Chains A and B, each alone.
Chain A
Amino acid sequence: MLKAEGVGVHLGGRWLLEQVSLEAIPGEVIAIIGPNGAGKSTLLKTLAGEIRPTRGSVSMAGKPLADWPARERACVRAVLPQSSTLAFAFRAFEVVLMGRTPHSRGLEGERDRHIAREAMAAAGVAHLTERLYPTLSGGERQRVQLARVLAQIWEAPPDSPRYLLLDEPTASLDLTHQHGTLVVARGFARQGAAVITVLHDLNLAAQYADRLALLKDGKLLVVGPPDIVLTAEWIETGFGLQTLVLRHPRLGCPLVIALGTASVLQPGEQLAHGE
């Protein structure tokens, strides 16, 4: 498992994270939620080993992250960045194939190519194989990058679970592909991977995550299943937003309907919405 214990991150003169403890368990999807600037990406980057915690520690499979040889770590843990600028005219397939970098030296083998094709199919970008990356739309690029990180940890090694870290994987996607992406993430979890994803859309989080971690001002307010975290009280504490939380008529998970912030609402309006 991927485990953060009492993690604090001090950067640029302020604490971006304070006393955060979180455990990603194989087979489970965890969604990190919270307002802008809460430290969601910082937490994901710390779990990925990209940022070294100032306090506390992060360990993977019981071993401190820093003690993992970079290549071994990359064979079991993949990270999808928020956005990725690639100015050079690689074909989408070549970008996905780069995900196989930690698994081989020199040229990729037929096995790597096979995996890259499968990962592209899983991410719904098989039709983009021959397209040049710079000519793709923002959403298409995001899904090609998803295929790349899937290809990186496509096969489960015999002795270690896999970890998939996603930073706002749905940000530039249309509704269909937002769900498509999270279905893929769920599928990975079902195969025994631990998935941690930063999400903005609370309803997506409610629908696909086993547990939610609500961050605010660098502190973890609450961690738990959607029913515990997605209450009107917690959402107002975390986001300063008034919501109506219903039950999803088909899925049974919480369904969050935003009412507005106190400062935006006119007196009396709130009452009308609250009915």
Chain B
Amino acid sequence: MSEADFPLTGDGRRALRTGATRLGLVGVLVALVLFAVGNGAVAIAPTQVAAILAGQIGVALPWAFEPQQEAVLLAVRLPRVLLGALVGAALAVAGAAMQGLFRNPLADPGLIGVSSGAALAAVGAIVLGTGSLAGPFTLPVAAFVGGLVTTLLVYRLSSAEGRTSVATMLLAGIAVNALAGAGTGLLTFVATDAQLRSITFWSLGSLGGATWNALAGVAPPLLAAMVLLPTLARPLNAFLLGEAEAGHLGIDSERVKAAAIVLTALAVGAAVSVSGIIGFVGLAVPHLLRLLSGPDHRHLLIDASLLGASLLIGADWLCRTVVAPAELPIGILTAALGAPFFLWLLLRDRSQGWG
């Protein structure tokens, strides 16, 4: 549209654009949730979904449904779609926060080693049989601690005299990823057949393990990241100017760094603990959103949750339908789609500067 038939300032235009983006993202998410819970081996119409859910709270709606549909929706689809939404949202918002913290649009929780560290710890817990240490919470706790330790390690390695070197960070991430990969490889080598199956699950990623119990276990850390990371929006904006500059603007940069890293490790560790390694969501989602509505974290961190949730629900739907009745691990799909996107970014940015 031209300036003439839209007499708004740049502020107005951008506000309009962020508003439209937000509205569109909410619409897409709602539509995808309805679609994904109804679609699969057993089809359930949106009206039937409404009737089943209303029935749960004792309200009778005039749409008939089969008991089988009710069972599938409540025990299988709903926890799975909700888990996909939470994991996708948390990965995307964590990716956006990492990119802000490292002042680099190519930072990703996977690139800096948090996912592989979490997976290593989880695989370690599987193989070394420490499953009884903290009961059902052993795996999530191990994955969380693994993710936190690797994140802190990479951050320490790439920071000197209060400045973080992006090149060092990426190289340190590669090294830590390789190290974690070696550890995971060693554990795989000594694992039993039953353990191997679990390990495959970790390394390829899947939402197939979704139950209400699993959901309840990981929802608190995932929700914490989704809710609390956006409160760091303004400090993260200032961080983009540089750490010293953020300090001059009155921001306690050490506190912001610590909060962003802990929340990211919390979210990614929890996500990996329940669904394995799902790559490229954290990288691609924030990048896509910056193209749509600009780099301001006050919009970005909320929109990232919405788009990340939509993306993972959509990807998971593909995974469980394209090769039905078998299931494609979701990590394969996101990597297969995400890697070409990453390459496109690199090629595009080489000539234009960061979007």
Contact = CB atoms under 8 A, between A and B. Distances in A.
B354 A88 contact: yes
Interface string B187-198: 000000000000
Contacts of B265: none
A91 B249 contact: no
A121 to B, nearest CB: 15
Given A84-B241, A84-B245, A98-B241, A129 B353 contact: no
B355 interface: yes
B169 to A, nearest CB: 14
Interface string A100-117: 011001110000010000
Contact of A78 (B161, B244, B248, B252): B248
A90 B294 contact: yes
Nearest to A70: B250
Contacts of A79: 244-245, 248
Contact of A101 (B10, B161, B250): B250
A11 B161 CA distance: 10
A89 B353 CA distance: 9
Nearest to B234: A101
B242 A134 contact: no
Nearest to B291: A89
A23 interface: no
A102 B296 contact: no
B259 to A, nearest CB: 15
Contacts of A49: 247
Interface in A64-108: 70-75, 77-79, 81, 84-91, 93-95, 98-99, 101-102, 105-107
Given A84-B241, A84-B242, A98 B295 contact: no
A72 B290 CA distance: 32
A87 B354 contact: yes
B251 A134 contact: no
Interface in A99-152: 99, 101-102, 105-107, 113, 129-130, 134-135, 152
Contacts of A86: 240-241
Interface in B82-122: 103-105
A17 interface: no
Contacts of A130: 10
Nearest to A91: B10
Given A50-B244, A81-B244, A89 B294 contact: yes
B250 A94 contact: no
Contacts of A106: 234, 298
Contacts of A89: 290, 294-295, 354-355
A141 B161 CA distance: 25
A193 interface: no
A73 B294 CA distance: 30
Interface of A: 11, 45, 48-50, 70-75, 77-79, 81, 84-91, 93-95, 98-99, 101-102, 105-107, 113, 129-130, 134-135, 152
Interface of B: 10-11, 14, 103-105, 161, 234, 237-238, 240-242, 244-245, 247-252, 290, 294-296, 298, 353-355
Given A86-B241, A101-B249, 18 more contacts: A11-B161, A50-B248, A74-B251, A79-B244, A81-B242, A84-B245, A87-B354, A88-B290, A91-B10, A94-B294, A94-B296, A101-B234, A101-B238, A101-B250, A105-B234, A106-B234, A130-B10, A135-B353
